[in-house]
Structure 1
C-alpha cells in the first residue's frame, strides 16, 4: 500500500500545539481563541472528537477562531496536510463544518453532498483521509430540515418525482426513510438521523479493510452527528462501542 509518507514526501506532519493536560482537553479555555489542532498522528479518536465538541462549544459562545489561517499557517500547510477529522456532511449552505467547530485551514478533510450520502467518490475520499492522512476520526453529520431527506420522504409518502438528476441523487436516502416511517415524531427529522446511522453502519461494517482494520485496532472511530439549525448545537448521537 502507498503510504502517507510516500504520497506527501515525508512532510505531512505539521508543527502545531502540543497536547495539554494529558490529552483530556485540547482546546483553549472559554473566551480564548482556539489554537491550531495537533497533527492527526498525535491524536487518538477520542481526542479528535473532543476537539470538535469544544470547538462547537466555542461556536455557540460566539467566539471566532484566531491565528489558525494566517500566513505562517499557510506556509506550513503548503508542505503537507494532517487533518484531525474527515467530515461527511450536507452541501446545505447553513452547515459549514469549519465554522461550526471554529477550525481553520488544514484541520478538517470535508466531503459534502446533498443528503450526506457516501458513493464511490465520497468513500474513496474518506479512505484517502484514513489510509494516507492518518485521520483518526470520521464524522457523518445530518442536519435539521434537510432538503434532500425531505425530497426522499416525498418519494416514499407521495410517490413524488423530481427533474434532472435530483431523483437519482436522493435514491440512496430512501431506505432510511423507509426505516423511519413507523417512528413517532417528524418523518423528515427521524429520517435524517436514520440516514446518518445507515451511512455510519456502512463505514463501520461494509467497507474495505483499509477502513475496517484501523477501527478494529482502535485507531479510528466513525461517529454520527446531527446539527440543529436554530441553536447551532451539534449532537454526536451515534458513537462507536469502545472497550
Structure 2
C-alpha cells in the first residue's frame, strides 16, 4: 500500500528530509494539511511503536507557535504524529520570555529548523484587540496590548478589519522572531532556519501560508512519511 503512487496521491514527504531541511519541512506541513482538507488523513506515528520510539528523545521537524484556541488542533490539521511538532500555544499566539526560550530550546537543542506562526480565523484575542473593551479582567489586558499594534495597522487597510488584523498579527510575530537576538536572528540570517506565518480557516480546515512570509519553493517531495 505504501507505494510511490500512494505517497504521491497523499502528498507524503519524508520525515528525515523534513527534519534536515526547513523547506522540505514546510512542504511536509502543506501536504499534511492538504490531506486533512481532502479527507485523506493517514494519521502517521500515532501507534504504540511511535510512543516507544520517542520515549528516550525527540526530534520534531517543525516548531508551531499557535493560538491556544481549542478549535485549532495542530497535529490533526497538519496530519502529523507523536514527536513531529514542537508546539507553543497561547491566546493570539502572543509570545513572551517563556515562549522565546521554548522556541530557542527546540531550535538549538532539538535541532528543529522550521518555525511556523499559526493564527486562525475568528480569533477572540485579536478581536478583543480590535474592539478594545473596557475593564478586561486579570492578565487578559497583556494579551490585548501585545496584539494592539497589529490591530492599529489593520484599521488603515481595506476589507474585513478582523481578518486583516489576524493576518497582520501573524506577520508582526514572524518579523519579531526573525529579529529576536541572539539565537533566532543569527540562525535566520544565516539561512539555518525558516520562520513563516500562516492562518487556519475554522470552516474549511485549510491552512493558508502567508505569501509575504514564504521563501521561493515549488512542489512536493513524495518519498516516505
Q: What is the TM-score normalised by the length of structure 1?
A: 0.81
Structural RMSD (CA): 2.3
Q: Is this contact kept in 2: 1:31–1:63, CA < 8 A?
A: yes
Aligned position for 2:140: 166
Q: How many pairs were matched up?
A: 213
Residue 214 (structure 1) aligns with: 187
Q: Indicate if the aligned counterparts of 1:84 and 1:137 stay in contact, CA closer than 8 A.
A: yes
| Corresponding residue of 2:157 | 183
Q: 1:242: Cα distance to partner? A: 6.3
- Unmatched segments (≥5 aa) in structure 1: 1-20, 22-26
Q: Deviations for 1:173-196, whole angstroms, at most 9, x for unmatched residues?
A: 011101111111111111111110
The answer on whether the counterparts of 1:140 and 1:199 sit within 8 Å (CA) in structure 2 is: yes
CA deviation map 1:69-123 (0-9, x unaligned): 2111111101210000000011111111100110010000000111011111111
Identify the match of residue 173 of structure 2 among 178, 196, 199.
199
Residues 180 and 125 of structure 1: is their aligned pair in 2 closer, same or farther, counting only changes over 3 Å?
Answer: same
Residue 31 of structure 1, CA deviation: 5.0
In 2, the alpha carbon distance for the partners of 1:116 and 1:101 equals 17
The 8 Å contact of residues 35 and 66 in structure 1, kept in 2 or not, is answered as no
Distance in structure 2 (CA, Å) of the matches to 1:225 and 1:240: 10
- 1:211-240: CA deviations, max 9, x gaps? 122212212000010111111111111425
5+ long unaligned stretches in structure 2: 218-225
Cα-to-partner distance string for 1:51-78 (whole Å, 9 max, x where unaligned)? 0000001001112334512111111101
Which runs of 4 or more aligned residues in structure 1 lie more than 6 Å from their structure 2 counterparts after TM superposition? none
Alpha carbons of structure 1 residues 242 and 67: separation in structure 2 relative to 1, 3 Å: closer
Between the aligned partners of 2:169 and 2:152, the Cα distance in structure 1 is: 10
> Aligned partners of 2:86 and 2:44: how far apart in 1?
19
Cross-structure match for 1:230: 203
Q: Which residue is equivalent to 1:18?
A: none
CA contact (8 A) 2:17 2:25 kept: no
Q: Which residue of 1 aligns with 2:16?
A: 38
In 2: Cα distance, 1:240 partner to 1:66 partner:
26
Q: Which has the higher contact order (CA 8 A, sep 6+)?
A: 2
Look up the SS of the partner of 2:36 in the other structure: helix
Q: Which residue matches 2:54?
A: 77
Distance (whole Å) between structure 1 residues aligned to residue 43 and residue 169 of structure 2: 34
